[in-house]
Amino acid sequence: MNIGNSLKRGSFIPRDHRRILVLAIRGIGDMVLITPLLRLLKQRACAEYLAVMADGVTAEVFDHNPHIDRLFVIDRSRSRQLPWISGLREWASLVSDLRHEQFDTAIDVFSGPRSASLAFLCGADDRYGEDFRTSGRGFLYNYPTTIVRDGRHIVEQKLDLVRPLVRDIDDDVELEIVTTTSERDHANATLSQLGSAKPRRVGLFPGGKDNFMWPAERFASVGDWLIKTYNAEVMLFGGPRDISVCKRVSEKMASTPIDLSGKTTLRELIALLAEVDLVISNVTGPMHIAVALKKPKVVALYGAADTVQYAPWGASSIMLTKGSPGDAYWRKVDYHRDFEFLLNITVDDVCDRVQPLMEALTVSETHA
């Protein structure tokens, strides 16, 4: 994706053989969207050693990433449940482990209170983060960066943090998710066991946050249309929290889909997505994973607020929204208003976008 002159700002700060810690503590989609930073840091910032810290299952996004030398995994949910003295010991052990690595550079990608503290305590001389001095933690960075958010994608925003370290940044900045041969073999074995033998596979992600979910009955209508029109294998994906909505979609369909909601790990889901031809999804972390894989075409259903900052980042994707760029914003989102934009997307709107993609698949199979 071409991101133009917005990547040309900033001055280069040279330093050889850096030992870099990237603190990335947020959701699955955010982890996917910062993967371009890791390649740039390893290849352009003289990162002799690159470590990443992530939270819980989100860390699995980085598994097998060739640019990462070590992955620190914390578990914020578990830590919150610990008695305070146990939590303090765990925190001290983590800080000790970080200091043992002798990092000279820390990059706090999302600049939260916990990660800002760790950036300061890890012992790195050079500490980069967003300039949040008005929030009382910007002083923890000696290289605070002012980031312009309005009208810019989150990928562009976060590249501003590493710009001083990587010289020029290519116009084409790609997401990167890696799957192994064994993971793909396991995915294919799973599909065989499920009896998935139809020529085209379509994955539906009807789950997500409450105000980001297109109605289940509309997903069901699209699923039935795909089966009737293209003899597609329709598969429902999602995590444990999405089981109920996937069940509603399945119950409302005239045909029976393959429901894998809550039945896969994140790594298993990633490998399965690499074997489908099309994904239709609400705004979710796995939607961004599908875009990063590049193989499935992706039709993503959006309200309005996230259509700039969290738009799909990749040529294999289509963002379907009734909003306009002028409706996109990130401060104090009116979720009710945003949901109304999402509800304005009809079943016919989705089918009209999907039809040429499915027909292109048919043509490619004919000429294969």
Domain boundary, last residue among 121, 138, 165: 165
β-pairing, 317-321 vs 297-302, is: parallel
Integer Cα distance of 49 and 30 in angstroms: 22
Q: Are the beta carbons of 147 and 166 closer than 8 angstroms? A: no
Task: Work out the mean pLDDT of the chain and round it to a whole number.
Answer: 90
pLDDT at 365: 56
Domain boundary, last residue among 138, 165, 192: 165
Q: What is the 8-class DSSP label of residue 257?
A: P
Q: In this structure, are 193 and 316 located in the same domain?
A: yes
Q: In this structure, are 294 and 152 located in the same domain?
A: no
Q: In this structure, are 143 and 208 located in the same domain?
A: no
313, with CB counted inside 10 A (0-12, 13-18, 19+), is buried
Residues in CB range of 80: below 8 A, 6 or more apart? none
Interval 131-176: pLDDT, tens: 875 566 778 999 998 898 888 999 999 999 999 898 778 766 999 9
Interval 7-36: pLDDT, tens: 333 444 556 678 999 999 999 999 999 999
Q: Are the beta carbons of 311 and 155 closer than 8 angstroms? A: no
Q: What is the 8-class DSSP label of residue 324?
A: -
CATH code of 233's domain: 3.40.50.2000
Q: What is the 8-class DSSP label of residue 64?
A: T
Integer Cα distance of 184 and 186 in angstroms: 5
Confidence of residue 1 (pLDDT cuts 50, 70, 90): very low
Integer Cα distance of 60 and 73 in angstroms: 9
Confidence of residue 332 (pLDDT cuts 50, 70, 90): confident
Q: In this structure, are 353 and 263 located in the same domain?
A: yes
In-domain check, residue 300 = yes
Q: In this structure, are 189 and 87 located in the same domain?
A: no
Domain boundary, last residue among 165, 191, 213: 165
Domain that holds residue 342: 181-366
Confidence of residue 331 (pLDDT cuts 50, 70, 90): confident
pLDDT at 363: 59
Q: In this structure, are 235 and 338 located in the same domain?
A: yes
Confidence of residue 324 (pLDDT cuts 50, 70, 90): confident
